[in-house]
Amino acid sequence: MQTSLENLGQLERRLNMAVPVDEIEKQVDERLTKLSRTLRMAGFRPGKVPLKLVTRQYGPRVRSEVIGDAVQKAFSDAVREQNLKVAGYPRIEPKPGETDAKSIEFSATFEIYPEVVPGDIGESRIERPALTVGDAEVDKTLEILRKQRRHFHQVERPIAAGDRVTADFLGKIDGVEFAGGKASDFVFVPGEKQMLPEFEANALGLAAGGSKAFELTFPADYHGKDVAGKSASFQLSVKLVEEPHLPEVDAEFARSLGVADGDLAKMRAEIQANIEREVKKRTQADIKNKVMQVLLDATKIDLPKALIEMETQRLVQATRADLEARGMKIEQLPLNPEMFEQQARRRVSLGLIMAELVKEHDLAAKPEQVRAMVEEQAESYEHPDEVVKWLYSQPQRLSEMESLVLEDNVVAWVLDHAKVGDKAVNFDEFMGKA
């Protein structure tokens, strides 16, 4: 087999190859002979079909298969000889122009993986969120839990923040009703940012049976583009005002949170443990995002188009499957691959960089690390031991765990080599409750 390699660009290559015709003919003859020994054909005993008849009927198909196999083998051998790492799938084509009767000539065009040289991160700065969970954080979480279990009672007084209000309203712009500007028996709670602050402010002080006309200007960045930046006239009529009542923090409340004996100290300890787990999870996610950005900023690489296209399609398919699982009709929501291209580029870049770091610094996931992560994941379930067994019986899930451990190893390595400092964060902002 004769081969030659062409450099078509940064990552694109073309292999020109020739496969001897006599090798092709030899393989064709061998396969047809083997086929004739087992072939069943009307009028002949099994294995007694004349070779000429087998060749006439099956020769073209067998020849095509042999040539395809020969081309694939030639490409694989050439890639191995040239020590090439192919990215994606090659485009194999017969060579144009005159052909040599003694050989079949073809070319394979493909991309190779780039050389990845991780950049120096020694001067990179990473701020690690610092947050201590104490009584104040437990108290805040308790208030949220109480609020989630609140009930309302009708009151005959003006609306205050936190009340549940049932009202009718009508909004007009330049005297014309606009889409979304009218509602009947609409329920909202002033102070919970369901409505614009100006709308809620005008509702405060009204009682059931009361009404008010007021002007309101929509923000320029309002999600409703048809009304953004415009002034509207509203007529608001209050029909019902209900006052919130939060449950007492007592044994019954503790039991509602899963503390069987109603012990308040045990309840607070469990709440604190849950908060600490969530804080740890969010801290790790925050640090991981920062580490990945450091790696991307420090390392510049050329990305194979084939890998970007493959990752883009994978993201499209994953999104489609997720939407279908949620009961959405995909045909009503077309997914443009361009929407996922930037994410795909980021994922491919990080995959290449991390693979190189893992190889250079022996950061592969160890069995004991995977076991520790599996057990940690299982802790949040009622029967952890059963969850552990189930995860180890699911190869795909276990592979996902291994990938997470590998990422954690890379993160740990970066943190050891970058400049890392702690930064105090606000509990409400960090937990997304502000």
- Please tell me the predicted confidence (pLDDT) of residue 433: 59
pLDDT of 409 strictly over 50? yes
Are the beta carbons of 13 and 111 closer than 8 angstroms?
A: yes
What does the pLDDT average to over 413-434? 88
Q: What percentage of residues in the chain have a pLDDT greater than 70? A: 97
Q: What percentage of residues in the chain have a pLDDT greater than 90? A: 63
- Please tell me the predicted confidence (pLDDT) of residue 25: 86
Strand pairing report for 103-112 and 12-20: antiparallel
Q: CB-hemisphere CA count at 13 Å for 134?
A: 3
- Please tell me the predicted confidence (pLDDT) of residue 306: 93
What is the rounded distance in angstroms from the CA atom of residue 304 to the CA atom of residue 88?
A: 8
What is the rounded distance in angstroms from the CA atom of residue 330 to the CA atom of residue 320?
A: 7
Q: What digits encode the pLDDT tens for the residues 267-323?
A: 999 999 999 989 998 999 999 999 999 999 999 999 999 999 999 999 998 888 888
Q: For residue 191, what are its two tokens?
A: 């102070």
Q: What digits encode the pLDDT tens for the residues 86-131?
A: 998 999 888 776 555 788 888 999 999 999 999 999 999 999 999 9
Nearest in space to 237 (alpha carbons), one of 171, 193, 173: 171
- Please tell me the predicted confidence (pLDDT) of residue 1: 58
Are the beta carbons of 239 and 185 closer than 8 angstroms?
A: yes
Q: Is 267 exposed, middle or buried (0-12, 13-18, 19+ CB in 10 A)?
A: buried
| DSSP assignment string, 140-205 | HHHHHHHHHT-EEEE-SS---TT-EEEEEEEEEETTEEEEEEEEEEEEE-TTSSSS-HHHHHHHTT
Of residues 249 and 57, more confidently modeled: 249
What is the rounded distance in angstroms from the CA atom of residue 197 to the CA atom of residue 216?
A: 10
Are the beta carbons of 430 and 282 closer than 8 angstroms?
A: yes
- Please tell me the predicted confidence (pLDDT) of residue 36: 82
Q: Give first-to-last CA distance, the chain, whole Å.
A: 69
Q: What digits encode the pLDDT tens for the residues 237-259?
A: 999 999 999 999 999 999 999 89
Q: At residue 208, what is the residue type?
A: A
Find the range with the poorest average confidence among 22-31, 166-175, 401-410, 419-428. 22-31
Nearest in space to 238 (alpha carbons), one of 315, 157, 181: 157
pLDDT-derived band at 56, boundaries 50, 70, 90: confident
> DSSP 3-state assignment of 95?
coil
Q: For residue 251, what are its two tokens?
A: 């044994």
What does the pLDDT average to over 13-38? 87
Show the domains of the chain with their CATH numbers.
2-112 (3.30.70.1050), 151-245 (3.10.50.40), 263-430 (1.10.3120.10)
Q: What digits encode the pLDDT tens for the residues 222-239?
A: 888 889 999 999 999 999
What is the rounded distance in angstroms from the CA atom of residue 230 to the CA atom of residue 183?
A: 19
What does the pLDDT average to over 60-64? 89
Residue 389 makes CB contacts below 8 A (sequence gap 6+) with none
Q: For residue 281, what are its two tokens?
A: 């999870």
Nearest in space to 198 (alpha carbons), one of 158, 234, 240, 239: 234
Are the beta carbons of 236 and 202 closer than 8 angstroms?
A: yes
pLDDT-derived band at 330, boundaries 50, 70, 90: low
Q: 55: how many CB neighbours lie within 10 A of its CB? A: 18
The b/e string for 191-201 (b: 16+ C-beta within 10 A; e otherwise) is eeeebeeebbe
- Please tell me the predicted confidence (pLDDT) of residue 434: 42
Residue 182: strand pairing partners: 170
**Please, what is the Cα angle at 22 between 19 and 23, to 5 degrees?**
60
pLDDT of 34 strictly over 90? no
Q: What digits encode the pLDDT tens for the residues 150-177?
A: 999 999 999 999 999 999 999 999 999 9
- Please tell me the predicted confidence (pLDDT) of residue 55: 87
| pTM confidence score | 0.74
